[in-house]
Each structure stands twice: as C-alpha cells, then as structure tokens.
Structure 1
Amino acid sequence: MMSNAPRHPLLPAAAAGLTVVLWASAFVAIRSAGDAYSPGALALGRLLAGALTLGALCVVRREGLPPRSAWRGIALSGVLWFGFYMVALNWGEQRVDAGTAALVVNVGPLLIALLGTRLLGDPMPPRLLAGMAVSFAGAVTVGLSMSSGGGGASLLGVVACLLAAVAYAAGVVSQKPALGRASALQVTTFGCLVGAVVCLPFAGRLVTEAAHAPVSATLNMVYLGVFPTALAFTTWAYALARTTASRMGATTYAVPALVVLMSWLALGEVPGALTLVGGALCLAGVAVSRSRAAGRSRRVAAGEPRPEKVG
C-alpha cells in the first residue's frame, strides 16, 4: 500500500485549487477550438498531447507500470472520464455556451457524493452537505443569469453535458481505489493512454481537420492536453488520494464561477449582478465543504481514526 501522507498539509488543497482553475479554463478553450475541430477529433488531439506530456514526466521520474491491482480502476476511469467524458463535453459545448456547460457538468459532484457514499464508504458529514447545497444554488444562479442574458442552450447540448457529468462522476469513483495502489502520476498517465486508445477511431478526422484548422485552434487543443489534462488531472489525483471523492467533487463547484470570470477577462463579457451573486455562492459553498479538511486529511494520513463513522 502506498503512503499518501503529504509533505505539507496545504499541498492537497493547493493541488485541488490549481485543478479547479485549469479545468475552468478548459471550458473556454474547448469553445474556441470547437470551431475548427469536431468533438472526437478534439478529444483525441487533447489526449495525445496529454499522454506525451505525462509520458515524458514518467520517464524523468522513472515511474514504472502501475501494479496489476490498480489497472481495473485505471481502465474504467480512462474509458469513462478521459474518453467518453471528453467527447461528450466537446459535443455539448458546440451547442451550449461555456457557462451553461460548466453548470450542467457540475451536477457531477452530487453524483460523486452519492456514488462515493454507496460504493466507497465515504462519510457524508452535515458540513459537506451544507456546502454542496450552497454551491449548487450558486451554480444554478450562474446558469440562470447567463441564460437570461441571451444564451440559447439546445436540448441536445444539455443532454450531452449531462452524459459527460455521469461519466465524470463514475470515472472519479473508479479512480479512487486505484490511487491507493499506484501513484497519482501513474494513474493519470495510463488513464490518459486508455482514453486516447478509446478515441483512436477519430484519428482520421483529427488528421484531416488539423490540416485546415487555424493555428489558434490547434494551440488551444495542445493547451487542453498539456495543462487541463496532463497537469490538472495529476494534481486532481494527488489531492483525491488524500481526501474523499465526495469532498473533492464539492471543490469543483467553483468551476462555473471561474468560467464566468475567465470569459469576462478573455472575451470582455461583463457579468451581471446575478452572475456575481451566483459565483460568490459557489465559492462560499466550496469554503464550507472543505473547512476542516486539512486536519482530517492529516489524521487519516497519520493512521488516526476518522472522527465520523459511516452508518
């Protein structure tokens, strides 16, 4: 069994924060690259860029193959999260704006909490439930404010984002046991490789579309692979190994608020008062759900019993 004790108690929280920021940026980058690349081709290009980056890191760090006991979780998360999720999200974002997509996908943390409690025995303390409720209310407020601003969300786009949310939740719950048997870098690298293999049927379209795509779209695709995939999925796995799936899922409720902020800074879209209120609620809910997380993580890493008991 691998030791998950952090060298510094703030590292898991910092890793989770970096993940949230990079994943928020992915929603904007997908919208930009989606004008030139189809959903499957964009997913494959992103995964190939991510796999090359992660592979290089594995070579530098001399990381070997994960143990056999970790492969079930790696394979499931690779198919569901790295493969199906990315294709479905790309498809959805071709039909809805980035803010709406972020809102719909962020029903995922609720699914993670339910699946984590049922399958992983994750605790469901009142503070986590309260934080999730506040953040979900904020995410709904953000989505409503953006929709009222003239964004038309197609039914197919919303359905695609919902499917992405289901795949995301199932992928996280599948990944969690593997992180007890392999390093975060190993789990992320080979999960990314599995996802790339799943998306190989789109290789022909990727080659054709890359030949005609503008440089900016291709750079956005490479950015998605290097940063929101290679870096952010690794920092996510590092943090997930040191806390519960439910608590990590609640952290991503900050994503819709950050998507609005990034759209404001990058595209000059000034958010309205209702959007700002929703964003503040998202961040407040994350603060509530993650409070006392560092102390609990230190106790678990040190082998002390958890203060709450699932029952």
Structure 2
Amino acid sequence: MRLQWQKLLLLGVFGIGLTNTLVYVAVRSTTATNAVILNSATPMMVLVLGSLYFRQRLSRRQWAGMGLALAGALLIVLKENLLGMSHFQFSHGDLLVLAAGLCWAVYTLGLRTLLPGLDPLVMMMVLLLVGEAILLPAFVAETWQAGGFHLLSGPIMGCLLYLGVFPSVLAFLMYNRAIAQVGAAKAAAFLYLMPAFGALQSILLLGEDLRWYHVAGLAAIFSGIVLGSLSRGTVAATPRPPTELSAAK
C-alpha cells in the first residue's frame, strides 16, 4: 500500500471528500429534478474520460446501451412531461452537480490504476480517513455556526446510521469490487439504476401509483445495461509491468 498512497489520497479526495459534498451543497440552489438529470451524465463522463485516458475503443453497441439506459432514466425523472427538458434552467447548483459527476468519474477510473493485492477493507478505511480529514474543517465550522453540538432524536440518529453504513461504506465496497470485476464502463452503466430504484421505493414505501413511464423507463434501463454488458468493446484494465506487480505483493 505504501507504493500507492498518492493514488489512494486522490481517490479519497475525489470519491469521499468531494462527490457527495458537492451534491449536498448543490441541492440547496437547484431542484432535485435538475440534480437527477445532470447526475445522469456521470456514466457518460466515465466512458469519455476512459476512452481518452486509457485509449480504449468503445463499440457502437456499448454507446447504444448507455444511451438507452440514459433515456430510461430521464423518462422516469421527467414522468409524463416529456418536453420538460425544454424548460430546463441552469443554475450555480447545476454546475456543482456536474462537478460532482466529474469527481465520481475520476474516482471510478482511478480505481483501475491501483495495483492488485490491496485489501478492500484496508483501502476503504484509508479512503474514509482521507475524506473525513477533508470534511472535518467544514464540519467544525457548521457546528460552530449552529451553536455547538445538539442531542439528536432517535429517528434522526437512525437515519444518519443508515446513511453512514449502507449508501456510504457498503455501497463503496460493492462498487469498488464491481470495478475490479467488470471494469469501469460496465459498472458505471449501473448508476442508471438509481432513479429506477428510487421510483420503485416510492411505489412500495410511499404508496405512489405505478405509471406507464415507470415500466417503460425500467425496461429501457435494464435493456441498455444488458446491451452494454454484452458488448466486447470494453477493454480490461491496463496491464502492469511484472516488476510493479511483484512489488505490490
């Protein structure tokens, strides 16, 4: 791990320290719909940056699958208002959402540059420590402005515990593992499942009605992921010289 501390530092900055923070700040000055729509550009950023940095050639089938999944995600977000994009208004918060997507793309591709042999739990601990060190000054400043620490209620503590365990640590561990198994491009395509799962949870947990655009959007997303996964255009991680591999063990 000592040979890769600089890479881990950058991954902690972009993946833990910046991505979610930029989104949380962005939603203060933009709508949730705008945030979801612009966040849908993240998988495309992964493909474009991957093709530039790793010089990988992507097949037409892979681009078509990504486009189909994107169309399904937008259909769910825009619901029946298919012309809603024409009323899209750009704000300062929207730029932050795009910046967050770019940070996540850098994090996703950065995982491919790590040498093998690094324990996933150790790597996750290092990334979290780096991210927390970056966010600590902002946390102290907000706590000071709020008048110090306050005792939180049980439900709020439960929500914070859920956010800290499931969407944070476990999600990162599984995503990191997915990158190692199937590559950045294929793993990034599954990000389109976030609006799909959000719609399903709204139906199951909040009692919202199941509409045609939910079914059509889910079908498009899953079809696009399958189409992209069947593509042979994804290039495996860049091979490493034997000297580097032996040094990493």
- Of structures 1 and 2, the larger Rg is shown by 2
CA contact (8 A) 1:103 1:256 kept: no
Residues 158-307 of structure 1 mapped to structure 2, 5 A cutoff: 158-178=94-114, 180=116, 182-204=118-140, 205-206=142-143, 208=146, 211=150, 213-291=152-230
User: After superposition, what is the alpha-carbon deviation per residue over 1:165-195, rounded to whole angstroms, capped at 9, x for unaligned?
Assistant: 1111111112221253523333322112111
1:122 touches 1:245 (CA, 8 Å); kept in 2?
Answer: no
SS of the residue aligned with 1:237? Answer: helix
After TM superposition, list the pairs within 5 Å mapping 1:1-311 onto structure 2.
67-95=1-29, 100-145=34-79, 155-178=91-114, 180=116, 182-204=118-140, 205-206=142-143, 208=146, 211=150, 213-291=152-230
Structure 1 unaligned runs (5+)?
1-66, 301-311
Q: Which amino acid aligns with 2:3?
A: S
Query: Does the 8 Å contact 2:73/2:192 carry over to 1?
Result: yes
Structure 1 residue 206, shift from structure 2 partner: 4.7
Q: RMSD of the TM alignment (CA)?
A: 3.1
Aligned to 1:31: none
What is the rounded CA distance, in whole Å, between the counterparts of 2:207 and 2:89 in structure 1?
A: 21
Q: Which amino acid aligns with 1:105?
A: N
TM superposition shift of 1:263? 2.2
In structure 2, relative to structure 1, the CA distance for the partners of 1:235 and 1:228 (3 Å cut) is same
The question of whether the paired residues in 2 share the 8 Å contact of 1:96 and 1:157 is answered with yes
Q: Percent identity?
A: 25
Q: If the length of structure 2 is used for normalisation, what is the TM-score?
A: 0.78
Give the drift of 1:122: 3.7
Of 115-124 and 245-254, deviating more is 115-124
Residue 54 of structure 1 corresponds to which residue in structure 2?
none
Asked if the contact 1:88/1:164 (under 8 Å) is kept, the reply is yes
**Structure 1 residues 137 and 239, CA gap change in structure 2 (3 angstroms):** same
Please list the CA deviations of residues 283-302 of structure 1 after superposition, one character each: whole Å capped at 9, or x if unmatched: 22112112378xx98xx9xx
Structure 2: gaps (5+ residues): 240-249
Alpha-carbon distance in 2 for matches of 1:102, 1:195: 23
Stretches of 4+ aligned residues off by more than 4 angstroms: 94-100, 206-210
Residue 87 of structure 1: CA displacement? Answer: 0.8
Q: Distance in 2 between matches of 1:95 and 1:108?
A: 20
**How far has the Cα of 1:85 moved from its partner?**
0.7
Q: Which amino acid aligns with 2:49?
A: L
Counterpart AA for 1:171: Y
Cα displacement (A) at 1:99? 5.6
Q: Quick check: 2:15–2:107 contact (8 Å CA) kept in 1?
A: yes
| Contact 2:30–2:94 (CA under 8 A) maintained in structure 1 | yes
Q: Which amino acid aligns with 1:282?
A: I
Q: CA deviation at 1:157?
A: 3.7
Counterparts of 1:161 and 1:192, CA distance in 2 = 21
Kindly state the Cα deviation for residue 237 of structure 1 after the two structures are TM-superposed.
0.9
Question: How many pairs align?
Answer: 230
Question: Which residue identity is paired with 1:197?
Answer: A
Q: CA offsets per residue over residues 117-143 of structure 1, 9 Å max, x none? A: 221344412322121011111122222
Which residue identity is paired with 2:52?
Answer: R
Counterpart CA distance in 1 for 2:162 and 2:138 is 19
- Tell whether the 8 Å contact from 1:80 to 1:168 is kept in structure 2 after alignment: yes
1:104 counterpart SS class: helix
1:29 is matched with none
Q: Tell me if structure 2 keeps the 8 A contact 1:179–1:187.
A: no
Relative distance call for 1:267 and 1:190 in structure 2 (3 A) is same
Q: How does the TM-score come out when normalised to structure 1?
A: 0.64
